[in-house]
Amino acid sequence: MCEQCGCQSPQPGGKAAEKNPKTMLLEVNRRLLAANDKQAAANRRLAEEKLGAVVINLISSPGGGKTTLLAATIDRLAGRRKIGVLEGDIETERDAERLRAHGIPVVALTTGGACHLDAPLVNRGLQQLAAKEDRLDLVFIENVGNLVCPATFDLGEHYRVVLLSVPEGSDKPAKYPRAFLTSQVFLVSKTDLLPHFDFSLDEVRQDALGINPDLKILPLAAKDGVGLDAWLAWLETLFP
Ligand SMILES: Nc1nc2c(ncn2[C@@H]2O[C@H](COP(=O)(O)OP(=O)(O)OP(=O)(O)O)[C@@H](O)[C@H]2O)c(=O)[nH]1
Ligand SMILES: [Mg+2]
């Protein structure tokens, strides 16, 4: 269990739960997650009905390359797709400022300690975007840098995208499977660094597909643009 936020996948309760503090805690977590899921469903409706937007939740470890990828994506889609961003961080608006400089609406969601975003916080962000914008094609949610807890919380996204950067190592899908199990797209980021690390693209592909055979895997380097075309082509499939 994450000691900071207490998030954990729910387990069934039952009679024993009434007296056992550990199972009581699990029951509280289950109810919190159920409330979160209800809000997430409302968030999806809000994004669709008020903004007409597809919502994408980006998950990675700290420094995995989420903001750099978003900046490159915004630049490449400028004039073609209207983008808004909900920028999640524990502290500071630094990433939000980085993306505002690219000329799009960004709402900073600062958790003040929690290691993941949840659906109520995202609802506030979506409301703020909807107050500023009539329509958006895409809303990206940059989750707090963490490969564990964000994988448990539905935010109301339509798609979940997990990034794993080359310096983190190709063993990570096997060790942190939930993020890969619950995502539709897996971006192997910072591939320009492949010559400097013992990262195996074969291993990472095999392990990730073993966890989730439907995962679309796209290696890319947002810094030099290699692989971005395939990512942008996938984004365009969301607008038939
Ligand atoms: N070599 C290389 N470095 C990259 C690439 N993408 C991002 N970086 C660097 O990786 C570092 C972290 O990138 P960010 O985009 O800030 O990562 P993040 O996932 O948004 O980080 P948090 O929001 O703190 O979790 C920065 O120094 C980037 O310049 C890439 O494709 N290649
Ligand atoms: Mg960032």
**Is there an atom of ligand 1 within 6 Å of 192 CB?**
yes
pLDDT for residue 24: 85
Can you tell me the distance from the alpha carbon of 166 to that of 199, in angstroms, rounded to the nearest whole number? 6
pLDDT for residue 82: 98
**Residue of 57, 61, 67 to mutate, ligand 1, most atoms within 8 A of C-beta:** 67
Asked whether residue 155 carries a pLDDT value surpassing 80, the answer given is yes
Q: How many angstroms separate the alpha carbon of residue 107 from the centre of ligand 1? A: 20
Can you tell me the distance from the alpha carbon of 120 to that of 114, in angstroms, rounded to the nearest whole number? 13
141 located within any domain: yes
User: Is 67 exposed, middle or buried (CB count within 10 Å of its CB: 0-12, 13-18, 19+)?
Assistant: buried
Q: Are 64 and 189 in contact (CB under 8 A)?
A: yes
Asked whether residue 81 carries a pLDDT value surpassing 70, the answer given is yes
Q: pLDDT by residue (tens digit) across 160-171?
A: 999 999 999 999
Q: Identify the CA nearest to 163 among candidates 118, 99, 220.
A: 220
Can you tell me the distance from the alpha carbon of 91 to that of 158, in angstroms, rounded to the nearest whole number? 26
Q: Are 194 and 166 in contact (CB under 8 A)?
A: yes
Q: Identify the CA nearest to 219 among candidates 55, 88, 87, 69.
A: 69
DSSP code of residue 2 = -
Domain count across the chain: 1
Q: How many angstroms separate the alpha carbon of residue 13 from the centre of ligand 2? A: 37
Q: pLDDT by residue (tens digit) across 29-57?
A: 899 999 999 999 999 999 999 999 999 99
Domain of residue 40, residue span: 15-236
155 located within any domain: yes
Number of H helices, E strands in the chain: 8, 7
Asked whether residue 22 carries a pLDDT value surpassing 90, the answer given is no
CATH number at residue 19: 3.40.50.300
9 located within any domain: no
Q: Are 200 and 170 in contact (CB under 8 A)?
A: yes
78 located within any domain: yes
Can you tell me the distance from the alpha carbon of 51 to that of 86, in angstroms, rounded to the nearest whole number? 14
- Other C-beta atoms closer than 10 Å to the C-beta of 22 total 10
At which residue do the structure tokens 């990472």 appear? 204
Q: How many angstroms separate the alpha carbon of residue 68 from the centre of ligand 2? A: 7
Q: Which atom of ligand 1 is nearest to the CA of 224?
A: 31
Quote the mean pLDDT of the chain: 93
48 located within any domain: yes
69 located within any domain: yes
CA 117, 78, 233, 42 torsion: positive or negative? positive
93 located within any domain: yes
135 located within any domain: yes
